[in-house]
Amino acid sequence: MGKVLIIGAGGVASVAVHKCCQYPEVFEEICIASRTLSKCDALKAKLDGGKTKIQTAQVDADHTDEVIALIEKFKPDVVLNLALPYQDLTIMDACLATGVHYVDTANYEPKDEAKFEYKWQWAYRERFEKAGLIALLGSGFDPGVTGVFSAYAQKHHFDEIHQIDIVDANAGDHGLPFATNFNPEINIREVSAKGSYFENGKFIETEPMSIKRVYNLPEIGPKDIYLLHHEEMESLALNIKGIQKIRFWMTFSQSYLTHLKVLEDVGMTSIEPILFEGREIIPLQFLKAVLPDPATLAPRTKGKTNIGCIFQGVKDGKEKTYYLYNVCDHQACYHEVGSQAISYTTGVPAMIGTAMILTGKWNTPGVHNIEEFDPDPFMDMLNRFGLPWQESFQPELID
């Protein structure tokens, strides 16, 4: 049915490529392109021989002209951006210049400021609309499936949703004293930033990790959960009608937080350049270089993730609570595609969002967050491609 250019060859891209190859009726041909060609070739070597044809290419996506040249050569229908958030705008520019649809999993971030906002990408709305192209923003798990869950709850379970609590819990254990389960630089920028939540039309800022709860979650048990800022709150606040409050919660172990605190206190998480032996370096990028590559954690991570949304609102004049979630097992992911559950829960929805565009199920031009589209075909594919969802009443809040 179509051709997809996948940019990036890291943890998430590896899962997405495996999943595209499981759906050759839609993904007839893919090109895996990244800064380091050998990583693309290694992925191709693993998956070659199936029905989906695979090519590889080298590209530095910081340069729009390089992406344009590659798109002109490969002629994809969609570009799936699985590089880093820094490349979102250069790749969107290349898609506009060549008339190709765009999908990503994380909103644009300037390199010199840990700011997670959609304003830079929303500024492209008119240009994509006029070109008749779709830019689908945030087709991972969170953002991504959490937005699809919200659209599904709104469509099938509520007249009005008043509150959403997004709960992202990872009960996986890799046995190492400290490691991050996706790109360390992006992960640490996210968790060391100030927290925030949405209430009555505005965002309220909180000190990092200052609000904690303990939820007893299905299949993983009681977990310490902390309030964080997360990008999907910004779009859900606009797209879910009647919404009054949105919070995002993520699990962290005490050991992880203690390590992070020490790293912060000694200045290792800073993104301000410093001079080291005559050369300018960014401490957080140096820290990334000494931490384990998240991909190497896959064989040793055991346990499950549970990510979902607790909705509160009104249906037929009555107050209602509804909980939608997915449980994913790290070892099952490793046995299926060689990755841990964090990459898996992002790579599968990235493939599904791309399939929505290729199949024409989602076809409204413009720059869109995922909850703006019909959730039903996406929910159906989650069940078919490894992330089955479950529904229940509110999980027990212990503390």
Which chain residues interact with ligand NDP by CB under 6 A? 7-13, 34-36, 39, 59-62, 82-85, 87, 105-106, 140-144, 182-183, 186, 294, 346
**What is the rounded CA–CA span in Å between residue 72 and residue 67?**
9
In whole angstroms, how close is the CB of 396 to ligand NDP at the nearest point?
Answer: 25
In whole angstroms, how close is the CB of 256 to ligand NDP at the nearest point?
Answer: 16
Task: Compute the Cα dihedral for 6, 12, 15, 16 and give only its sign.
Answer: negative
In whole angstroms, how close is the CB of 364 to ligand NDP at the nearest point?
Answer: 21
Which tokens sit at 75? 């002629």
**What is the rounded CA–CA span in Å between residue 12 and residue 182?**
8
| CB-nearer residue toward ligand NDP: 161 or 186 | 186
In whole angstroms, how close is the CB of 292 to ligand NDP at the nearest point?
Answer: 12
In whole angstroms, how close is the CB of 34 to ligand NDP at the nearest point?
Answer: 4
In whole angstroms, how close is the CB of 106 to ligand NDP at the nearest point?
Answer: 4
b/e map of 128-152 (b: 16 or more CB within 10 Å)?
Answer: bbebebbbbbbbbbbbbbbbbbbbb
| CB-nearer residue toward ligand NDP: 131 or 284 | 284
Q: DSSP string covering 65-81, please? A: HHHHHHHHHH--SEEEE
Task: Compute the Cα dihedral for 360, 59, 120, 210 and give only its sign.
Answer: positive
Q: Which residue has the tokens 């890291």?
A: 10
Q: Which residue is nearest to ligand NDP (CB)?
A: 10
| CB-nearer residue toward ligand NDP: 131 or 247 | 247
| CB-nearer residue toward ligand NDP: 7 or 151 | 7
| CB-nearer residue toward ligand NDP: 140 or 308 | 140
For 247, phi then psi, to 5°, come to: -130, 155
| CB-nearer residue toward ligand NDP: 17 or 59 | 59
CB 395 within 8 A of CB 217: yes
